[in-house]
């Protein structure tokens, strides 16, 4: 699995107008825990989405979110993990990656 990490500015755009690669996990960093609306407007494929807080804990997840949908998270999150057909072991690998980069406490 490959990781693509996007910081604050690039994370605003995310996967709009792109076709995600099957073997890639996209990590969008909001910079700090916050409650932000997520949308799949202009996304070209249904996406799996996991929301992680600053501690690396899964606070919410959504499977196969279709294009042109809006998600209003119930809890604050820092990282939005997106990809196609994500599994729990993929998210564990993301948490390990974020930990190695010292991005989670």
Q: What are the tokens at 49?
A: 């989405």
Global model pTM greater than 0.85: yes
Q: Is residue 105 part of a domain?
A: no
Q: Is residue 20 part of a domain?
A: yes
CATH code for the domain of 7: 2.60.120.1140
User: pLDDT tens-digit profile of 20-44?
Assistant: 999 999 999 999 999 999 999 999 9
User: pLDDT tens-digit profile of 48-66?
Assistant: 999 999 999 999 999 999 9
**Domain residue limits at 66:** 2-100
């Amino acid at each position: 699995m490959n990781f693509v990490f996007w910081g604050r500015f690039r994370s605003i755009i995310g996967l709009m107008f792109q076709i995600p690669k099957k073997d890639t996990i996209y990590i969008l960093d909001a910079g700090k825990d916050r409650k932000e609306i997520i949308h799949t407007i202009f996304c070209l494929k249904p996406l799996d989405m996991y929301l992680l807080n600053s501690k690396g804990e899964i606070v919410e997840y959504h499977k196969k979110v279709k294009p042109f949908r809006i998600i209003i998270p119930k809890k604050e999150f820092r990282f939005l993990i997106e990809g196609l057909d994500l599994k729990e072991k993929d998210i564990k690998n993301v948490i390990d990656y974020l930990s190695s980069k010292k991005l989670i406490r």
